[in-house]
Chain A
């Protein structure tokens, strides 16, 4: 066992980089879950589909800009436009969902908005899969330049650097909006107490809409990054990353923005490195799909032993 550890430093370095890469996608999506939960105490089940719509919008732009043949400076332009289009499409979807499926149910029993969220999720993923794609996947054009950075045992591809860099930039931007702007202050106040915020003259509806919009922008960018990294996209693609991102949000303490980011990276690392570590045990061989089992088991364990999240402090049990 130790022998394998010593000889394959590169292998573990690869796993580390892969973990951080998937982790940053989880973190971006998790932000949307945690923020909406913060203001509405609602699990936005359709968030995975908001992410999916963003990914398709980005795909459309990249194909329109020349697909696989895009070259030179056009690549950068295409990527920026794809992300803008993805954010806009995701935002439009999220706001429509909020208006149609959530707002009429804001004072309904708890189960009602949850079920309507599941309805939206089923509707959107099957609309894309059965309505437009008829079961086939679409493939992102592979326009990103090859090349890699080598740091000792670490090999990071240019795409991975771009992915981690742009997700960090997005998170930085979000942090600035939440902590430094008047809009952000409104959101924080509504998350604290909707009634009190309303008494203080904050437009609660607007704060809720902005929360959905910000979460959707993060999800849209995550959709483009996911497409660039994994290539195949389809209508049902939002399901697993959505559940994983929710897990990440719970890990970090749902409702907490920093928690979602930490939870995302933590989950990304655990499921790649964790599965490989389990594989190190003699006689155990876990195929790639067991990643999901690792992630879900982690969710159940956290809910049993630390229902406030590994990093959370606030009382969320029976809130």
Chain B
């Protein structure tokens, strides 16, 4: 019964979505220049982070507002043990040892944070994770003996393969693409397993789930640890890519970015997460490219036309609306105003399409079915 939500509209199976994403990525990698591949890297990185947070928020229904903490954990593990400059550790550990170390550290920190709060109700989790994200940043800023504080750690050890090292944008893109595919596979298998059904049961009604014999704390902790380790994996790949790890990169904004793309893309749905990442991370980057500016320049007449109207309005009213900026500034403006748009989008999506723009099939079913208002709750 889950096969078709709208009868008559055939839908591609999920592995086909993954294949399309892989082919598009590889085509981009082959044909486009480095600036574009850099954008593709960021989109794929955030999509991977989104898949991790999706396990926590979309599947298990736990609101985690401090996802950046795990991202930072991964990055700092790779930086502290992998950079000669790091003050507390002598020598350099091979990247391929550090990568699993970072993933385990993420899972460990996730469990450490989850253990005290997961038995409590969900709202508390949101605030505690929010606070925890800030604590990690403040710790990184102040523990100079380990993190070099705000000066940050750079010149990290790069991953190597054979005699080569991964040091170009293109090589890093392949790396994150492999990571994204692996994470997609793992999370999709988990979702379709007993574990995934337990998560969804907890998300829908924790008391009922417990009544059905699900050990809710254990499964919530598992979701939290898996999400955290994916966040750390992203951080561990991001750190050598930018080759600089400093507290300023791990602000609340990263958490909000990831949360926004998961929710706007469609909670519980990996294809939606990728679409969300392309929209929220890719588009603002894209608009800053010279090529885009050249294309947009062809629409300057539209701007001029609109400016005539605005001038007219300014002339008859007391207000001064200014003018629309020339097209080469649009990308910068959108990057600047991005979070204003995010905030408004979050509210709009919640109010108009609470299941996201591309909801998972099961969610779509839930939201289209007539649902009686739960009595007594908010």
Binding site for B on A (CB under 8 A): 40-43, 100-101, 104-116, 118-124, 126-127, 130-131, 193-195, 239-240, 243, 246-247, 250, 287, 289-290, 292-293, 295-297, 299-300, 303-304, 307, 317-319
**Interface mask (B240-278 → A, CB under 8 Å = 1, otherwise 0):** 000000000000100010010001000000000000000
Closest Cβ–Cβ distance, residue B249 to chain A (whole Å): 17
Q: Say if the beta carbon of B127 comes within 8 Å of chain A.
A: yes
Choice from B117, B122, B128, B344 contacting A110 with Cβ under 8 Å = B122
* Centre residue among A40, A110, A250, A293 by max chain B CB count within 10 A: A110
Q: How far is the CA of A60 from the CA of B343 in the complex (A)?
A: 25
* Centre residue among A116, A124, A194, A247 by max chain B CB count within 10 A: A116
CB pair A111 B61 closer than 8 Å? yes
Q: Using a CB-CB cutoff of 8 Å, which residues 127-162 of chain B contact chain A?
A: 127-128, 130-132, 134-135, 138-139, 141-142
Taking chain A's interface residues, is the majority helix, strand, or loop, or is none over half, making it mixed?
Answer: helix
Q: How far is the CA of A193 from the CA of B343 in the complex (A)?
A: 32
Known: A287-B142, A303-B124. 14 other contacts (CB 8 A): A43-B123, A43-B127, A111-B57, A114-B123, A115-B263, A120-B343, A131-B337, A239-B252, A243-B134, A292-B135, A297-B135, A299-B131, A304-B116, A307-B124
Closest Cβ–Cβ distance, residue B61 to chain A (whole Å): 6
* Contact residues in B for A110 (Cβ distance below 8 Å): 122-123, 377-378
In the complex where A118-B256, A195-B376, A289-B138 touch, is A300 in contact with B340 (Cβ < 8 A)?
no
Q: How far is the CA of A193 from the CA of B377 in the complex (A)?
A: 10
A-B CB proximity, top 7 nearest: A123-B343, A119-B346, A122-B343, A296-B131, A116-B350, A126-B339, A119-B347
CB pair B259 A118 closer than 8 Å? yes
CB pair B138 A293 closer than 8 Å? yes
* Contact residues in A for B256 (Cβ distance below 8 Å): 118, 122
- Nearest residue in B to A291 (C-beta to C-beta)? B138
Choice from A123, A246, A293, A307 contacting B135 with Cβ under 8 Å = A293
A-B contacts, 5 listed (Cβ < 8 Å): A116-B350, A118-B256, A122-B343, A296-B135, A299-B127
* Contact residues in B for A119 (Cβ distance below 8 Å): 342-347, 350
Choice from B252, B336, B346 contacting A116 with Cβ under 8 Å = B346
Taking chain B's interface residues, is the majority helix, strand, or loop, or is none over half, making it mixed?
Answer: helix
Q: How far is the CA of A203 from the CA of B378 in the complex (A)?
A: 17
* Contact residues in A for B130 (Cβ distance below 8 Å): 243
Choice from B138, B346, B377 contacting A290 with Cβ under 8 Å = B138
CB pair A106 B138 closer than 8 Å? no
Choice from B121, B346, B351 contacting A104 with Cβ under 8 Å = B351
- Nearest residue in B to A295 (C-beta to C-beta)? B131
**Interface mask (B366-378 → A, CB under 8 Å = 1, otherwise 0):** 0000000111111
CB pair A293 B139 closer than 8 Å? yes
Q: How far is the CA of A114 from the CA of B141 in the complex (A)?
A: 29
**Interface mask (B88-126 → A, CB under 8 Å = 1, otherwise 0):** 000000000000000000000000000011001111101
CB pair B340 A123 closer than 8 Å? yes
* Contact residues in B for A317 (Cβ distance below 8 Å): 120-121
CB pair A114 B63 closer than 8 Å? yes
CB pair A250 B61 closer than 8 Å? no
CB pair A130 B120 closer than 8 Å? no
* Contact residues in A for B339 (Cβ distance below 8 Å): 122-123, 126, 130
CB pair A118 B346 closer than 8 Å? yes
CB pair A303 B120 closer than 8 Å? yes
* Contact residues in B for A123 (Cβ distance below 8 Å): 339-340, 342-344, 346-347
Q: How far is the CA of A307 from the CA of B118 in the complex (A)?
A: 12
- Nearest residue in B to A117 (C-beta to C-beta)? B347
In the complex where A290-B138, A292-B138 touch, is A115 in contact with B378 (Cβ < 8 A)?
no
- Nearest residue in B to A119 (C-beta to C-beta)? B346
Q: Using a CB-CB cutoff of 8 Å, which residues 151-194 of chain B contact chain A?
A: none
* Contact residues in B for A100 (Cβ distance below 8 Å): 347, 351
Q: How far is the CA of A114 from the CA of B337 in the complex (A)?
A: 23
Q: Say if the beta carbon of B53 comes within 8 Å of chain A.
A: no
Q: Say if the beta carbon of B84 comes within 8 Å of chain A.
A: no
* Contact residues in B for A104 (Cβ distance below 8 Å): 351
CB pair A246 B127 closer than 8 Å? yes
Q: How far is the CA of A124 from the CA of B343 in the complex (A)?
A: 8
Q: How far is the CA of A115 from the CA of B339 in the complex (A)?
A: 15
CB pair B340 A111 closer than 8 Å? no
Q: How far is the CA of A251 from the CA of B105 in the complex (A)?
A: 31
In the complex where A118-B65, A120-B343 touch, is A250 in contact with B124 (Cβ < 8 A)?
yes
* Contact residues in A for B127 (Cβ distance below 8 Å): 43, 243, 246-247, 250, 299
Q: How far is the CA of A112 from the CA of B126 in the complex (A)?
A: 13
CB pair B351 A105 closer than 8 Å? yes
Closest Cβ–Cβ distance, residue A117 to chain B (whole Å): 9
Q: Say if the beta carbon of B354 comes within 8 Å of chain A.
A: yes
CB pair A289 B142 closer than 8 Å? yes
CB pair B117 A120 closer than 8 Å? no
Q: How far is the CA of A147 from the CA of B127 in the complex (A)?
A: 39
* Contact residues in B for A130 (Cβ distance below 8 Å): 336-337, 339-340
Closest Cβ–Cβ distance, residue B169 to chain A (whole Å): 28
- Nearest residue in A to B65 (C-beta to C-beta)? A118
- Nearest residue in A to B210 (C-beta to C-beta)? A318
* Contact residues in A for B139 (Cβ distance below 8 Å): 293
